[in-house]
Amino acid sequence: MLKYTLIAITLLALALLASCDPHASSSSMDNDRLAFSATLDEQASIGAASAQVTLEPAASAEGTLALTLHAGQLSGTKALIGSVEYDARQFHLAGGLPAELTSDDALLLCVDKPAEGRVYFGWVLANYDTKPGLSGDIELCTLRFASGAAEVVKVTAKAPQGGDNHFTLEGSSDPDTNIPTLTWLEANAGDGDDNGEVNISDITPLGASFGKTPSPTLPADSQARDADYDKNGEVNISDMTPLGRNLGTILTGFVILSGPTAGSLTEQLRFARTTMFPGVLNAASGELTWVWTGPAITSDTFFQVQPYDATGALGQASDNTVQLIFNNPIPVITGIDAVTFDEAPTWFDNVGTDYTILLTELSVDAIAGNAENMPGVVEQLQLKGMVTTDQDPAPIDGSENLVWYISEGAGMASVSNAPGTKGLLSFHWKDAQNNDVHGDRGRVVVEAQIPGNFNNKKSIAFVLMSIDSLVLELTAGGGGPLAVNAGQTVPLKATGTFDFDNVANGNEYNADLTSFVNWAALVDPAGTSYSINTNAGVLDTTGATSGAQIRVTCEFPRTDNVTLFDDEKRVSNFLEVNIN
């Protein structure tokens, strides 16, 4: 005969009241048994669709009423979850006995809740997943009740606390953003189904894994790990104790506490457990790992985590606090800008991390203090670095605290590192012997660097050019003359060839100048209609007279002469458009 294991746990102190009459007759107690009933929770039970639970009279000691909890009509039943209801104003539970059964080992947990007038019971076959279940009738246990109400202390749902529910907090912060991340394992001993509540039905996952040794790596053992309520590395009878001890615990969510010291923590925020569940469920270990990412810290900060229940009351906090160190971010150069243009320069390349700006004599001369072709006059641009600064009281200035240098090109150009003029780019017309030179022609690459960090830098390139030739053509190519029907729209294109060094050595640069040359047109005979977009080079011949000729011209730049080496010259070209 194998005995089912009975663990009887009373959450509140039970005492016989003075009003209990120890000499009450057994016949009167037999009549009182009609005030007791048993209910089966079919949804929480396993294989109990046809099962019924009843209370049968049993041999009673004087002054008590003994009732045997009987389960009948079982058919492949593996778990029975339910309760025995009684009038707690008249009776109290005085004890219980296990029943002797001729079957495989099983687990039985009975918990008295006098505030509710119920004795909750849970019965489950050990390792039921490998067994066919029981059929027929069984006796679960015998309960003894005595007359007189128990002293009832109302117990509300509570957050996890006590030695069964300790947990350790871990934390880190991103060194670049100072965003904190906290991680911890959920501690709610007895919550085998991970629903946030510990109730009598949590005996079921314990029964499924009984006798197993949980593994942190094997998914097959994840359920065993989750049912190891006392965390001793084995699922056995000792896990019934924390299950019963924590019955009624509800974990609603977590409070994040923070402060400048471990002794000055205050609540930062609360988040409900259901908002993140079950995304952090570790399927391999069967445990819940919580991960919280918060707003960036601005100074060294201590953190602690504490669970709370449905009423908002706090449970047991993490065993420790973690200190996250504020990392003063390293300044990062995000770009360089020229800040003294009267008119915005043209960008040949503004994609990526380095930029190239086209400079003509006109765009340089437009800067206050610069002049065209004056011997000894230095033409200058003030550059400024755009910096993502640190957060200390003295952030890096965008230009004064950077290191400036020219990394390539234009030997007669220079950039200043002197206090007050840092980042001032100069184009020189004279060399050291006061000879006219054109060393500033071509591409100049200026770089700014964070002091002491050569890799933390940005560059900007300027191309100071003279036009060597200008070609006017159709978008698809070709220089004309062009015959079109009246009303036809003609897109045009201008290409400039720039000479960097006044030497025909291939060191030339071809660029599409369509959008920044000045477009115009003349018509013969006068009076015929047409229109031209002066900035985009689009000719519209709507209204033009058959046989008319339109001469389209473009000039570079739009507003003034350019320097072709030391000679002033307006560069232009034209295209004949004949109207059919």
Residues 431-474: tens digit of each pLDDT: 556 565 544 455 678 888 888 777 788 888 776 554 555 666 66
Q: How does residue 121 score in pLDDT terms, banded at 50, 70 and 90?
A: very high
Mean pLDDT, the chain, integer: 75
Nearest C-alpha neighbor of 411 from the set 430, 384, 393, 396: 430
Query: Do you find a cis peptide bond into 393, omega within 30 degrees of 0?
Result: no
**What's residue 82's pLDDT?**
94
Residue 278 or 558, more confident? 278
Residue of higher predicted confidence among 168 and 558? 168
CATH 1.10.1330.10 in the chain, residues?
163-324
Can you list the positions of beta strands (E) in 309-345?
A: 322-324, 332-338
Q: Where are the alpha helices (DSSP H) in 176-251?
A: 203-208, 222-227, 240-245
Percent of the chain with pLDDT over 70: 66
Q: Kindly report, as residue ranges, where domains of CATH 2.60.40 are found in the chain.
A: 2-147, 332-464, 467-579
Quick one: which of 219, 215, 221 has its CA closest to 233?
Answer: 215
> For residue range 302-320, what is the model confidence (pLDDT) as tens digits?
999 999 998 999 999 999 9
At residue 403, what is the residue type?
V
| pLDDT value of position 223 | 57
Cβ contact 413:444 at 8 Å: yes
Average pLDDT over residues 380-387: 79
How high is the pLDDT of residue 575? 82
Q: Greater confidence, 53 or 338? A: 53
- Residue 219: DSSP 8-state: G
CATH pick for 2-147 out of 3.30.2030, 2.60.40, 2.40.30, 3.90.25: 2.60.40
Which range is least confidently modeled, 16-20, 122-126, 214-218, 522-526?
16-20
pLDDT of residue 86: 94
What's CA 301's distance to the chain center, in Å? 21
CATH topology of domain 332-464: Immunoglobulin-like (2.60.40)
Q: What pLDDT sits at residue 461?
A: 76
Q: Cα(first)–Cα(last) distance of the chain, in Å?
A: 116
Residue 191 pLDDT > 80: yes
DSSP line for 453-517: EEEEEEEEEEEE-EEEEEEEEETTS----EEE-TT-EEEEEEEEEEESSSS-SS-EEEEE-GGGS
Count CA within 13 A, CB hemisphere, residue 351.
1
**How do residues 514-532 score in pLDDT, each as one tens digit?**
776 778 888 888 777 888 8
Q: Is the dihedral of CA 208, 213, 216, 217 positive or negative?
A: negative
Starting from the edge strand earliest in sequence, which strands make up the sheet with 52-58, in order?
52-58, 64-77, 134-147, 91-98
Q: What is the mean pLDDT of residues 75-81?
A: 94
Output the six-digit token pair for 500.
Answer: 């960097």
Arithmetic mean of pLDDT, 488-500: 76
The residue-averaged pLDDT of 257-277 equals 89
Max Cα separation, the chain?
136
With a pLDDT cut of 90, the percent of the chain lying above it is 24
Model-wide pTM > 0.85:
no
Among 5-14, 158-167, 342-351, 482-491, whose mean pLDDT is lowest?
A: 5-14
**163-324 CATH choice from 3.50.50.60, 1.10.468.10, 1.10.1330.10, 3.30.9.30:** 1.10.1330.10
Tell me what pLDDT residue 390 has.
Answer: 53
CATH architecture for residues 467-579: Sandwich (2.60)
